[in-house]
């Protein structure tokens, strides 16, 4: 069902996958059912400190923030287009308000390397171990238009995760 990929074998359109297809970022522990997920559309994938990495951002006002702070890993899962309505719900509703663990549209599964879950319906699973974090500092925004993304002044925390496993759906 899934094929293991090395980071250097991963072929994707990074701008398209973040902006148009989105990811589910999930942090926590699958075995104890102590995790939360949210849709993310801002981030990057590349190389930093000679390691393959994925970078995602989470606002401190999001429920998932508690999990990204508490656990040392996270997953990023991309889905086929038919799951876009589910991703929209999971990105706009809080885990405090709906049961994201038992959400009917997708099924959480154990990841191969990290404690955070992945999803059976995903086309792409990226498992990450956190290696760095920082907070956006508005005084460092060089483009004043960026500030418009933060009317509540809830500046994102940036998480760099070393990519420790990649699984891609085998559609053959």
What's the pLDDT tens digit per position in 138-153? 999 999 999 999 999 9
Nearest Cα neighbor of 4 from 172, 171, 170 is 170
pTM for this prediction: 0.95
Nearest Cα neighbor of 105 from 91, 130, 86 is 86
pLDDT of residue 99: 81
Residue 62 structure tokens? 């999001």
* Average pLDDT estimate for 97-104: 80
> How crowded is the C-beta side of 57, counted as CA atoms within 13 Å?
14
Evaluate if residue 93 carries a pLDDT over 90. Answer: no
| pLDDT tens for each residue of 48-71 | 999 999 999 999 999 999 999 999
Evaluate if residue 131 carries a pLDDT over 90. Answer: yes
Confidence grade of residue 172 (pLDDT, cut at 50, 70, 90): low
Confidence grade of residue 158 (pLDDT, cut at 50, 70, 90): very high
Share of the chain above pLDDT 90, in %: 83
Confidence grade of residue 102 (pLDDT, cut at 50, 70, 90): confident
Q: What is the mean pLDDT of the chain?
A: 94
pLDDT of residue 51: 98
106 or 104, greater pLDDT? 106
Domains by residue range for the chain, with CATH:
2-169 (2.30.110.10)
Q: For residue 122, give the DSSP letter.
A: -
Q: Which value, to the nearest 10 degrees, does the dihedral of the CA atoms of residues 5, 108, 85, 37 take?
A: -90
């Amino acid at each position: 069902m899934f094929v293991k990929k090395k980071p250097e074998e991963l072929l994707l359109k990074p701008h398209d996958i973040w902006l148009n297809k989105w990811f589910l970022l999930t942090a926590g522990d699958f075995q104890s059912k102590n995790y939360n997920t949210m849709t993310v559309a801002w981030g990057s994938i590349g190389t930093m400190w000679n390691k393959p990495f994925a970078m995602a951002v989470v606002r401190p006002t999001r429920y998932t923030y508690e999990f990204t702070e508490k656990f040392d890993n996270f997953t990023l899962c991309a889905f086929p287009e038919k799951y876009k309505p589910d991703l929209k719900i999971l990105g706009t509703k809080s885990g405090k308000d709906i049961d994201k663990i038992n959400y009917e549209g997708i099924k959480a599964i154990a990841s191969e390397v990290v404690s955070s879950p992945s999803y059976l319906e995903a086309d792409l699973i990226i498992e990450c171990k956190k290696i760095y974090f920082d907070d956006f500092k508005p005084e460092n925004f060089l483009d004043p238009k960026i500030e418009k993304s933060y009317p509540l002044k809830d500046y994102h925390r940036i998480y760099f995760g070393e990519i420790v496993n990649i699984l891609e759906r085998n559609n053959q």
